[in-house]
Amino acid sequence: MQGLTVALLAWALLHPHGGGGGDAWPTHTACKNGDLEVLYQSCDSLQDFGFSIDQCSKLLKPNINIRFGIILREDINELFLDVTLLTKGSSILNFSYPVCELDQPKFSFCGRRKGEQFYYAGPVNSPEFEIPKGEYEVLLELYNENHSTVACANATVICS
């Protein structure tokens, strides 16, 4: 019986995963506080990423600080963010924001290359905002000039 366990363990270890699908990535907590909880899950079949928000409050301060760690799958001379906000299954907000452009690289990481391990801790230009009570689904996608995915996240925002 013990041998079987060893065999199963060996199987589990040797079975290649991550390369092209398989199980979904785990759900992580980006921030959790009294009245706000932000959960996210990578929707890129090839890799997970790390993300956290420094101040976690339903009263979002302007230019909140985030931390973000990922391995770049693509060059990011040009990088765009698409955000879709849904509540109870219906879309309430859609926008696209250029993060890096050739004529305006907004952040110091613009121009980094495919394969670089990339960590960003700093501000994002967000407005001052109070999140109304409720549960929201947020879909975020980062992609480059060729529309190749750099990162993809399914997030849940629970505000009580």
Partner 1 sequence: MAPNISFLLLVVLLSVGCTVITSLDQMCTEKESNKAYNCDYLGLREIPDTLPNTTEVLEFSFNFLPTIQNTTFSRLINLIFLDLTRCQINWLHEDIFQSHDQLSTIILTGNPLIFMAETSLNGPKSLKHLFLIQTGISNLEFIPVHNLENLESLHLGSNHITSIKLPANFPTKNLKVLDFQNNAIHYLTRKDVESLKQATNLSLNLNGNDIKSIEPGTFHSKIFQNLNFGGTFDVSIILKGLQNATVQSLWLGTFEDTEDQDLSSAMLQGLCEMSVKSINLQKHHFSDFSPATFQCFNQLQELDLTATHLDGLPSGIEGLNSLKKLILNVNNFDQLCQINAANFPSLTHLYMKGNTKKLDLGSGCLERLQNLLKLDLSHSDIEASDCCNLQLKSLLQLQYLNLSYNEPLGLQSQAFKESPQLKLLDLAFTHLQVNVPQSPFQNLHHLQVLNLSYCLLDTSNQRLLAGLPELRHLNLQGNHFQDGSIPKTNLLQTVYSLEILILAFCDLLSIDQGAFHGLEKMHHVDLSHNNLTGNSIGALSHLKGIYLNLAANSINIIPLRLLPILSQQSTINLSHNPLDCTCTNIHFITWFKDNLKKLEGLEETMCANPPHLRGVKLSDVKLSCGMTAVGIFFLTVFLFLFTILLIFSFKFLLRWKYQHI
Q: What is the binding site for partner 1 (CB under 8 A)?
A: 1-4, 6-8, 10-11, 14-16, 19-20, 46, 71, 103-108, 110-117, 120, 122-123, 125
Q: Virtual CA dihedral for 68, 132, 62, 40, nearest 10 degrees?
A: 0
Compute the least distance from the CB of residue 24 to partner 1, in Å: 17
Contact 112, 105 (CB under 8 A): no
**CB neighbour class for 104 (10 Å; exposed up to 12, middle 13-18, buried from 19):** exposed
Q: Virtual CA dihedral for 18, 68, 39, 88, nearest 10 degrees?
A: -100
Compute the least distance from the CB of residue 132 to partner 1, in Å: 27
Compute the least distance from the CB of residue 65 to partner 1, in Å: 10
Helix (H, G, I), strand (E, B) or coil at 64: coil
Looking at beta carbons only, is 50 or 122 nearer to partner 1? Answer: 122
Compute the least distance from the CB of residue 17 to partner 1, in Å: 9
